[in-house]
Amino acid sequence: MEIAGWAGILASLLGLALTIYGVFYNGRANRMLMRSIEADIQTARAHIESFQAQADRQHEATRALIESFQAQTARQHEDTRALIESFQAQTARQHENAQALLAAIQADIQTTRNLIESFQAQALRQHEDLIAFLREMDRRHTEIMARLGELLITSRK
């Protein structure tokens, strides 16, 4: 039994020695693994910072583009508004001019009507005067013809 007891003790000591060696070796391996992980983390942080800087630059460029587009859109809006106001003013002036022209044409039409009525009245008076003159001439002609007829009759006698 004694050998078995010593064998057990030796096995326990060997296990303890292996455990201590394993802890020491694994500790060194763990430290190396931790250093490697820390290096990977630092590399990842550097990449993240680089990506963040690139994203910040892209964000600034995008923001500048948006501001430029907004300014351009605002200028185009102002230009369009100015054009609309100009067209509205021009249309209002054209409408006023058309109204004035229409009033002038209507006045000319009324003047023309008045002239036509005046000419018609004058022509009617002249026509009536001409008819009266012709009647007077006809009456005188009839008188002259009657006297001539009397003279002819008396001269034949």
**Does residue 45 lie in a domain region?**
yes
pLDDT at residue 10 in the model: 65
What residue numbers bound the domain in which 40 lies?
1-111
- Sorting pLDDT into bands at 50, 70 and 90, what band is 17? low
For the segment 32-51, the average pLDDT, to the nearest whole number, is: 81
**Does residue 99 lie in a domain region?**
yes
Number of domains the chain is built from: 1
- Sorting pLDDT into bands at 50, 70 and 90, what band is 20? low
Instruction: Report how far residue 11's alpha carbon sits from residue 17's, in angstroms, rounded to the nearest whole number.
Output: 10
**Whether pTM exceeds 0.75:** no
pLDDT over 70 (residue 28): no
Contacts of 33 (CB under 8 A, 6+ apart): none
- Sorting pLDDT into bands at 50, 70 and 90, what band is 51? confident
